[in-house]
Amino acid sequence: MTPLGLYLTKKSVNRAMVSRRSGISQARLSQLTSNESTKLRADELYLIALAIDIDPGEMFKEVFSDLKLKK
């Protein structure tokens, strides 16, 4: 499961509702939540955050918490 998948599971999000509200297909959501090699685009993250009434910035921080600057 991807970080997005873990995040949505933790928040008990209904993916069919996210698909309807965001316009992102259920197939694409399935890829984004289960396939580690699928890249999440910024516009998709923004639409998903809006669909579940979460601040996009906070969602971004949690989903991409593994990203760090090089020293």
Enter the pTM of the model: 0.91
CATH of the domain at 53: 1.10.260.40
Q: What is the pLDDT of residue 15?
A: 95
Q: What share of the chain is helix, strand, coil (3-state, %, to 5)?
A: 60, 0, 40
Structure tokens that stand for 47 in this block: 């639409």
Q: What is the pLDDT of residue 2?
A: 96
Handedness of CA 64, 37, 3, 13 (dihedral sign): positive
User: What percent of the chain clears pLDDT 90, i.e. is strictly above it?
Assistant: 99
Q: Is residue 71 part of a domain?
A: no
Q: Is residue 23 part of a domain?
A: yes
Give the H/E segment covering residue 63: helix 56-63
For the segment 30-47, what is each residue's pLDDT rounded down to a tens digit? 999 999 999 999 999 999
Q: Which domain holds residue 21?
A: 3-63
Q: Is residue 69 part of a domain?
A: no
